Amino acid sequence: MIRTVPTTPFDDQKPGTSGLRKKVPHFQQPNYVENFVQSIFDSLENFAGKTLVIGGDGRYFNREVIQVALKMAAANGFGRVLVGRGGILSTPAASHVIRKFRAFGGIILSASHNPGGPTEDFGIKYNIGNGGPAPEKYTNAIYARSREITEYRILEAPDVDLDVIGTTMLGQMQVEVIDPVADYAALMETLFDFDAIRAAFAGGFRMAFDAMSAVTGPYATEILENRLGAPRGTVRNGTPLPDFGGHHPDPNLVHARDLHDTMMAADAPDFGAASDGDGDRNLIIGRGIFVTPSDSLALLAANAHLAPGYAAGLKGIARSMPTSAAADRVAEALGIGIYETPTGWKFFGNLLDAGLATICGEESAGTGSDHVREKDGLWAVLLWLNILALRKQSVRDIVEAHWAEHGRNYYARHDYEAIETAAANDLVAALRDRLPDLPGQEVAGLTIAAADDFAYLDPVDGSSSAHQGIRVLFEGGSRAVFRLSGTGTSGATLRVYLERFEPDPARHGLATAEALAEVIAAAEALAGIRARTGRTQPDVIT
């Protein structure tokens, strides 16, 4: 029986950089999940009888929300739902399943790299039929609807058994529980030279992959160990846990410290990698060398032709604005287009759909291509493996040769987390006010060449997005960018992105902090971070 339940709106269901993210207890308020899911369905048209994909990263509250979403999908008229076994689908796998089965769209339950557990984070995100995160016109409509909602529809039925593969009926709707890994693993086999990678492992190539007790464990075990023959134990922390074992499933040098230490040891494996809570981010470390995500994007683009899926070359490269310009130099060398978008994967979808870009990336450990419409952690790891297997050089040799050819973009991001929202807003507003006067001024020994508040005009659909981050460009090609996070769940997070281009190979061996010292000082002088936030140093440096 379908029940129509009266409800009243919440005023805080505005999707951020990547869907709606809140603490679990916030989501557990009566009707909170139902209101948001109904707001999604109410903003969509013509889905009667069509297919919806549902899956999540397995974090705490995943199963409960999946049952609600299934019953609401049935009550709202979907014809079929594909759901990963155990409620599991990594974000890139969900994107692929949406595309492969030509689904109408998908609901992904994840708070990505944020911690999980009864008092930690949860998230709900809607993806459209191309497999990518809903663009702003959808998220704006969902938010608008959430402000006016008066009722939601839900089927009264027993819970669906999510642990058995097969098809059942939920009212008039078919529910298919699918293997979360199989379709994704098959796609990877079409893109990469599995034979070459298998031969490398057989020849003694050693790797450590940290799944961070998150969703990538089963995917990595199947692909790396079962299909590519990497020794058992190559995948660490490979069982997804609802609280990620109490860790932040964020693949950076702070939260993937163990992997970092493994890779810096004298007997380190050849290659180290990690992925985040929902499997869309990646961390790449060679023996004794961390590869920044911005450099990784540039290196993958420069070498992608070595993988069968990209042998025909790239159509273009897209990067988010705060990502370093290392990829721009590769695009220039290859004679292909480079696109600079606001932060967030949703801005890449149109470029990929239109065939303008093949590879995309963000400084926040996200890289991907037109094979899906999300960033894809394991994809990046497999492309690296493919390149290493064919070039037969160390990560360090490949990276240093790349810098010698294209120059090195020293890069760091400084995050100030959970600062007071008002102070953060004031800091950005003060910078914005000063923008017209900045060019020509000297700060901490650097001269400002240009400064603006980044705005994007989508070349495909003509939509525009303003206020995407304050950019300050210095003479000589250094840069500082300031923006507030759109994914945090407590207070505000200020992100300061620092970059300096160094063409001279003789100066490619500096420590990052040393290379960036002037830019860091200039950023502090410009924004007054200490005075305004009371923080003397960033919480996280990536």
Q: For binding to Zn ion (CB under 5 A), which residues are involved?
A: 112, 276, 278, 280-281
Q: How many residues bind ligand G1P (CB under 6 A)?
A: 15
Q: Is 112 a catalytic residue?
A: yes
Sheet holding 51-56, edge to edge: 20-23, 121-127, 105-109, 51-56, 80-88, 173-178, 166-170
- Residue recorded with tokens 């800091």: 427
- Residue recorded with tokens 């959430």: 146
**One of 39, 95, 110, 112 is an active-site residue; which one?**
112
Q: Which is nearer to ligand G1P, 132 or 366 (CB)?
A: 366
For ligand G1P, the binding residue among 362, 370, 376, 502 (CB under 6 A) is: 362
Q: Which residues contact 304 (CB under 8 A, 6 or more apart)?
A: 310, 314, 358, 359, 369, 383
Question: Over 414-460, what HEC string results?
Answer: EEEEEECHHHHHHHHHHHHHHHHHCCCCEECCEEEEEEEECCEECCC
Q: Which residues contact 183 (CB under 8 A, 6 or more apart)?
A: 93, 96, 97, 100
Contact characters 315-334, ligand G1P, x per CB under 6 A: -----x--------------
- Residue recorded with tokens 């058992």: 232
Q: Which is nearer to ligand G1P, 105 or 368 (CB)?
A: 368
6-35: contacts with ligand G1P (CB under 6 A): 17-18
For residue 335, give the H/E element and its range: none
Does residue number 343 form part of the binding site for ligand G1P (CB under 6 A)?
Answer: yes
Does residue number 112 form part of the binding site for ligand G1P (CB under 6 A)?
Answer: yes
Does residue number 248 form part of the binding site for ligand G1P (CB under 6 A)?
Answer: no
Q: Which is nearer to Zn ion, 278 or 362 (CB)?
A: 278
Alpha carbon of 315 to those of 191, 195, 359, 460: distances in Å? 16, 26, 8, 15
Instruction: Say which entry of ligand G1P, Zn ion, none residue 345 contacts (CB below 5 to 8 A, set by partner kind).
Output: ligand G1P
Distance in Å, CB of 113 to ligand G1P, minimum: 7
State how far the Cα of 480 lies from the Cα of 452, in Å rounded to an integer.
Answer: 11
Does residue number 345 form part of the binding site for ligand G1P (CB under 6 A)?
Answer: yes
Distance in Å, CB of 384 to ligand G1P, minimum: 20
Helix (H, G, I), strand (E, B) or coil at 464: strand
State how far the Cα of 176 lies from the Cα of 53, in Å rounded to an integer.
Answer: 10
Distance in Å, CB of 290 to Zn ion, minimum: 19
Q: Which is nearer to Zn ion, 91 or 409 (CB)?
A: 91
Burial class (CB in 10 A: 0-12, 13-18, 19+), 369: buried
Instruction: Say which entry of ligand G1P, Zn ion, none residue 486 contacts (CB below 5 to 8 A, set by partner kind).
Output: ligand G1P
Instruction: Say which entry of Zn ion, ligand G1P, none residue 362 contacts (CB below 5 to 8 A, set by partner kind).
Output: ligand G1P
Angle 62-76/32-42 helices, nearest 10 degrees? 40
Q: What value does the CA radius of gyration of the chain take, rounded to a whole number of Å? A: 23
Both tokens assigned to 214: 């998150």
486-525: contacts with ligand G1P (CB under 6 A): 486-488, 495
Distance in Å, CB of 344 to ligand G1P, minimum: 5
Does residue number 247 form part of the binding site for ligand G1P (CB under 6 A)?
Answer: no
Distance in Å, CB of 301 to ligand G1P, minimum: 18
Does residue number 364 form part of the binding site for ligand G1P (CB under 6 A)?
Answer: yes
Contact window for ligand G1P (CB under 6 A) among 6-14, 61-69, 449-457, 484-492: 484-492
First vs last Cα of the chain: how many Å apart?
51
Active-site residue list: 112
- Residue numbers at the binding site for ligand G1P (CB under 6 A): 17-18, 112, 320, 343-345, 362, 364, 366, 485-488, 495
